[in-house]
Structures are given as structure tokens and as C-alpha cells.
Chain A
Amino acid sequence: MSAPSIRAVELAKRYRINQRAGYETLREAVARAASAPIRALQSSRGEPGHGRAGALDGYHWALDEVSFEVTEGEVVGIIGRNGAGKTTLLKILSRITEPTRGFFEVGGRVASLLEVGTGFHPELTGRENVYLNGAILGMKRSEITRKFDEIVAFSEIERFINTPVKRYSTGMQVRLAFAVAAHLEPEILLVDEVLAVGDARFQRKCLAKMEDVGRHGRTVLFISHNTTAITRLCRRAIWLDAGRVVDDGPAHRVAAAYLGSGLGTRAAREWPELATAPGDEVVRLCAVRVRAEGGEITDALDIRKSITVELEYEVLEPRWVLVPNLHFFNDEGAYVFVTADFHDPAWRRKPRTAGRYVSTLEIRGNLLAEGGILVGAAITSFNPDVIHLYERDAVSFQVVDSLDGDSARGDYAGPMPGVVRPLLPWTTERVE
């Protein structure tokens, strides 16, 4: 019989709404102390209730009576959108902060990974940072020494191990930090969304390493809003929303429910109700989806592979020439490009009959720069010009560059400017 490894009992965490905005100055504390008798009088008339009403008196319940039990060796995913309380839960379980109410019990050494490279010091070398970071994560010095070669090999930056970390590119720092974290061997491992960084190949390597950890009987709590990673790594998932457990069960079922709720990935948006969908009496938008080369819907896309964006719409009124068009913006709000379907010979200047249509755009690999892309979806007619619909932030996705040397960045690992990153042919010949 497996023993419980983590047992959370009615965990609740309350934050003062402005608590995170800044610290109190001495002057404010004095003012607060002076007004204490008045507040004491007020609170004697009615203790502010526990729960939603709390927000009224300047408090916010980041977690609200969360209870669950995890048995030894279980790998559990925690999903939920931003602000759902995932990180607060992890901070409580890793003892960074105390719950306002409730308690939890753990059976074994706990290590938490809320961030990659916690405590990395830019002035120290890679080697020194491996030791420092390892110690901060709870490893013993002898343990680090024993695993040192393995860590360095995993990070793939052997050549720079004696160089100060401040000379590393972000990618190299992430690799080294991951390598240290991947070699932690606690009984219970708590991992926050750290896998969202790094290039796709290295991410896969880390995921594989984590699967390994799970197989060795260690308990893992893994937080993510990437449902793909959750379903791959975990058999069980807990869905948190507004500080409460919405669902707890088999990962596939919970992930599907989460995605269905519309809180999941931003790589796909659906409007099941035609009446309320974007559009007019001519055409209504049904869905916008971003797919990777293999066809799966994902918001993390390899820079080298082609990306398809599809527009599904219902034509209600025939005889219109419809031109679907897509608008791409980057993280900084720059208008990267706009593209419209003028050229498909099957439909060029031809009106459409009523019915359901899917128009698909393919963006070839090695074109977009890495980073976030926001996609606006529109359907327009010309002569007369009518914009039937324009959904500004329909979907979004992340382009992830490769460090394998075969993308436009080649072997360069540092930051690269530009709104596009095409891979273009170069030639060099000796002329003298």
C-alpha cells in the first residue's frame, strides 16, 4: 500500500490586495497603529467573512479551502489560468509562505523549482553557480560533486563552465540551471511552469528527465497551463480556478474539461453559438486554430517548422465574394504582416454558397522571429468594401527558436533583433 506523500487540508491563503504592490513605510504603520482602536470597534460589530466577500475589505483569497492528497510516487499536474492560485499553492507547499488557514503534511524531503536558476550570480562561473544553485535547491555538497560531470554534460555547455555566467546567453543560462534542477533527487518535487523556457529540443530533454523522476517512485507536483505537458507527464490532474479546486481526476479528463472551458490554450478559439459569434448577417466566425507541422493544436511552435492557421466560418448569405485575412502582431505590438486569401484559384473572385468553410494559411518555417505572436482574424468583401468581422486577438502563439544551429540564428545564442527571422542563402567566394 502506498503512503500519502502530501496531504493538504483546507489550505487557504489571504493577501491584502495592496500587499504585493509595496511595503508599508514606518509612517503608514504608525498611522495604522493610531487607527487601530477604531478598527477594533468596527470589527467587533462583525468579523469580515471568509470567502468572496473578503475582497470588499481589501483582502483577496488566493487559495480557498484547497484539500487533496497525493500518494507516494504519483505525478500530479496542477492546471488553471493565471491567477488561479497555482503558484500560491506551490509556495505554501514549499514553505516559502505560510497558509492563512489550514495545514499540510509531507512525507520526505521536499525540493521546489519555482524558477530556473534561482540564486544564479552573474559574477560567478558556471561551475561555481552549479554548486551555489544546487545548495540553494537543497543538495548537499558531496551530492553536487558526485553529479557534477553529469550535470555539465546534460547542460551541453562544457566549454564555458569556467566562464562567468554574465557572459552566457539566456539560452545557455537556462540550460545550466535546468541541468542542476534535473539532477535533484528529493522525495517530493514541486515544479512551477519552468518548462516554458528554453528551446524545444532542450524542453523535450527536460520533460524526459522528469518522466524519469516520476518512474523512480518520487512524488511530483507539476504546475502548468500547457495541457499537453500535463497529459504527457501526469496521470492525474487538479484544476484550480479562483483559488478553489474545480476538478481532480485523471489528467486526460481534467485537461479536456479545462480546455473545453475556454480557459486553456490560446492557440485555438471556438464560438459554438452562431448567434453570438463574431460576424454579421453574411458570415459568422466559428473557430480559429493554430497547428504545428504535425497537425496538433499548440501554442508553442518550432521556428524551423511551418505553422498553419485555420479559419472556420459559416456563410449565411450567398453571392458575396469573401476574402479571409489574418493580421500578425508581435509581443511589442509591431504589425509583422497581413495576409489575405486573394489567390486560391478555386475561389478567386467567386461568390460562395451558404455553408461551413475552412480556410487555411500556411506560414513556412524560418520566417517569423521567436517570441509571442498575436493573430487578428477578419473576413472582408471588396467593391463595395465591407468588413464582415474582425476579431482582434483571436489566437496567440509562441515561436520558439532552436539552438541546434540549423535555424537563422545558427550557432549564435544571444538575443537577436528583428520582427522576422528568415533563413536566407549566403554565398562567399574567394576573389583574390
Chain B
Amino acid sequence: MPAETEGTEGDDRSSGLAGVPPAPPLEALHSTGDGSGRILARFPPARGGSALRLHELWSYRELLYFLVWRDLKVRYRQAALGAGWVLLQPLLAVTLFSVVFGRLAGISSGNVPYPLFFYAAFLPWQLFAYSLAQSGNSLVSNERLITKVYFPRLLLPAGAIIAGFVDFAIGFLLLLGLMLYYGMVPTAAVFALPLFLLLAVGTALAVGIWLSALNVAYRDVQHALPFLTQIFFFATPIAYPSTLIPDSWRIVVGLNPMAGVVEGFRWTLFQEGHFEPLILVSALVVAVLLLSGIVYFRRVETTFADVI
């Protein structure tokens, strides 16, 4: 049997059965897509391979594209307003919070008009909350796929987040429109915005990956998730400025990555507030959470089809 990689050398019919067969990299399977190679890939792979197997994810990028495309296509089908909801939802939220917090409660938003102050924070929050809800349930809601076909399961929570990103892009245009309406022009600081956006996505992905995997085994997650998100919403200075937070709580709030994100958005867009160095700590926390989440996910994903 011809072998084209080092990994399968000497792995003939007799040796593989008894001893520990060599393990070619998982990606070997996909490099034979053109049908020319005759490489044997072994499953389950022997220990010691890369825990993340990011290479495999890359080879499934087209499926990721189609999963996102499906979610986007299906979302507003048979809704009379269709994609209009992408604009309507934030507009309603801005109106509601402007009336309740801006007018009735009289919360001060500094030099920025309250609707703008609120929306600049609500926009990344919405991305986070939507992505979290979608990715947290992504495995359970795709049970049929998981039990009937193989693909890296990580595509599901990741895809759910990408779909949320499209809403964000549209919402961002709305935000720019609002700024023009209020006569505010973003300064050069706006170029730092993608960094905060990255942190928001990273947070959603990290929490989403953990929760989606846990949700497979423990459906408690999907019941708790809406409440946790709501608590998190009020714990984050979205509807109110961070100056309202007592000093003794500053550090706790500063560790909330989403607090850093919304403050960062306001800071980059309006020079409102200041850069909080604590955000670096929360960014580190997110990085650890994300990495450990992916490792955990890839470890347990082989059991999803049995447990779900």
C-alpha cells in the first residue's frame, strides 16, 4: 500500500494490528480531497496531537459559510417586516430606554445625548447577547445534524456568532446615522473600535463555547441563560454611566469584559469617559476562557452524538 506521509510509513497490514499504529495528522484526511493520495487516517487519533486542531476547522470553512448563510436566510423568513427587524429592534430599545432612563429616571449621560449614549453601548451588547443566546443553544438546536453527520462541532457555536455580526454591521450604520443626526463626528480614536469589538466577540465566543457544550449534557443552561444575560445587562453600564458605580465596586465591574467593551465604545466614539486599564485584565480572562473552552469543547465533542 503506497504511503505518502511519514506518519504511515511502515504501517502495513501486519504491524498496525498489534503494536501502536502511528497516527498521521488528522488533516491528512482532508489533503486527499482530490482523490490522488492514499493516506490512511486513524480514528480516534492517538494521543499527543494538537488539542485545538484548528487546521481541521479551516478545511470546513465552506460548511461554516453555509451554516451562517442558512441562519441568516431563515431568520426573518415569513416575517412581514423581514430584515426590517434588524433596525426596528434597536430603535425600539433606544426609544424605550431614552424615555425610562433618560427622561423619567433622569440619568445623566454627560455631553452626549442619552439616545446616542445608550445606543453606543447597546449595540455591542446586542451583539454579545444575541451571539451568546444563539451559540449557547446552537448544538441542541442542531441535534439532527450532530447525530447524522460528522463535522467539527465547533462550527455551530462559531457560526451562530458570525450570523450575529451581520446585525451588528447594520446596527453600526444606524449608529453612524444617529451621530450625524446629533451633529457628532467621530474622531481618530474610532480606529481603536475594532479592538473593543474583538473583545466583545471573544467574550461571546468564549462563554458561548462553554455554555453550548455544557448545554448538551445539562439542559439547565438553556433555562438559566436568559436570566443570566439579563442580570449581566444591568450589571454592565449600558443604560447608565459607569460614574454611577460606587468606587468600592469599580474593580469588580472593571473585570466584566462587557463593561470594558461598552466603555471602550463610548470612549472611542465620543471621547466620553476614560480608558480603563482594567480592561487588559478582563481581556486576559477572556483569552484564557476562550482557549480553555475550545480545548474542553474539542475533548467532549466526540460524545455529543451519544449524549444529546
Of A124-132, A327-335, A373-381, the one contacting chain B is A124-132
Q: Which of B39, B69, B302 contacts A97 (CB 8 A)?
A: B302
B306 neighbours in A (Cβ, 8 Å): 15, 19-20, 97
Please report the C-alpha to C-alpha distance between residue A397 and residue B73 in the assembled complex, in whole angstroms.
Answer: 42
User: B-side binding surface: helix, strand, loop or mixed?
Assistant: helix
- What sequence of 0s and 1s flags, for each residue 2-39 of chain B, a beta carbon within 8 Å of any chain A beta carbon? 10000000000100110001000000011011010111
Q: Which of A108, A115, A118, A123 contacts B74 (CB 8 A)?
A: A123
B13 neighbours in A (Cβ, 8 Å): 4, 7, 69
B62 neighbours in A (Cβ, 8 Å): 135, 140-141
For chain B, residues 125 to 151, give those with C-beta under 8 angstroms from any C-beta of chain A.
144-151
Question: A91 contacts the other chain (Cβ, under 8 Å)?
Answer: yes
Smallest Cβ-Cβ distance to A106: which chain B residue? B41
Q: Are B149 and A7 closer than 8 Å at their CB atoms?
A: no
For chain A, residues 13 to 71, give those with C-beta under 8 angstroms from any C-beta of chain B.
15, 19-20, 23-26, 29, 69
A115 neighbours in B (Cβ, 8 Å): 148
Question: A136 contacts the other chain (Cβ, under 8 Å)?
Answer: yes
Q: Which of B145, B218, B308 contacts A118 (CB 8 A)?
A: B145
Contacts A105-B16, A124-B73, A135-B66 known; A25 to B220 CB distance under 8 Å? Answer: yes
B220 neighbours in A (Cβ, 8 Å): 25-26
Question: B55 contacts the other chain (Cβ, under 8 Å)?
Answer: no
Question: B201 contacts the other chain (Cβ, under 8 Å)?
Answer: no
Q: Are A124 and B42 closer than 8 Å at their CB atoms?
A: no
Q: Which of B40, B69, B219, B308 contacts A106 (CB 8 A)?
A: B40
A135 neighbours in B (Cβ, 8 Å): 62-63, 65-66
Q: Are B32 and A3 closer than 8 Å at their CB atoms?
A: no
Q: Are A109 and B219 closer than 8 Å at their CB atoms?
A: no
Rounded to whole Å, the gap between the CB of A374 and the closest CB of chain B is 29
Please report the C-alpha to C-alpha distance between residue A103 and residue B33 in the assembled complex, in whole angstroms.
Answer: 22
B side interface size, CB within 8 A: 48
Question: B252 contacts the other chain (Cβ, under 8 Å)?
Answer: no
B303 neighbours in A (Cβ, 8 Å): 97-98
Q: Are B42 and A136 closer than 8 Å at their CB atoms?
A: no
Question: B78 contacts the other chain (Cβ, under 8 Å)?
Answer: yes
Q: Are B32 and A96 closer than 8 Å at their CB atoms?
A: no
Please report the C-alpha to C-alpha distance between residue A29 and residue B44 in the assembled complex, in whole angstroms.
Answer: 27
B181 neighbours in A (Cβ, 8 Å): none
A109 neighbours in B (Cβ, 8 Å): 29-30, 32-33, 35
Question: B103 contacts the other chain (Cβ, under 8 Å)?
Answer: no
User: A-side binding surface: helix, strand, loop or mixed?
Assistant: loop
Q: Which of A96, A107, A187 contacts B150 (CB 8 A)?
A: A96
Q: Are A94 and B78 closer than 8 Å at their CB atoms?
A: no
Q: Are B63 and A136 closer than 8 Å at their CB atoms?
A: yes
Q: Are A3 and B38 closer than 8 Å at their CB atoms?
A: yes
- What sequence of 0s and 1s flags, for each residue 191-222 of chain B, a beta carbon within 8 Å of any chain A beta carbon? 00000000000000000000000001111100
Q: Are B44 and A103 closer than 8 Å at their CB atoms?
A: yes
Smallest Cβ-Cβ distance to A139: which chain B residue? B62
Question: A155 contacts the other chain (Cβ, under 8 Å)?
Answer: no
Question: B307 contacts the other chain (Cβ, under 8 Å)?
Answer: yes
Q: Are B148 and A103 closer than 8 Å at their CB atoms?
A: no
Question: A205 contacts the other chain (Cβ, under 8 Å)?
Answer: no
| 20 more CB-based (< 8 A) A-B contacts, given A19-B307, A98-B302, A108-B37 | A4-B13, A15-B306, A23-B219, A23-B307, A25-B220, A96-B146, A97-B305, A98-B43, A104-B42, A105-B42, A109-B32, A112-B149, A115-B148, A118-B148, A119-B144, A119-B149, A128-B73, A135-B65, A136-B66, A187-B35
Chain B residues within 8 Å of A, Cβ to Cβ: 1-2, 13, 16-17, 21, 29-30, 32-33, 35, 37-44, 62-63, 65-66, 69-70, 73-74, 77-78, 144-151, 216-220, 302-303, 305-308
9 contacts between A and B (CB under 8 A): A94-B150, A104-B42, A105-B16, A106-B41, A106-B43, A107-B38, A108-B38, A135-B62, A136-B145
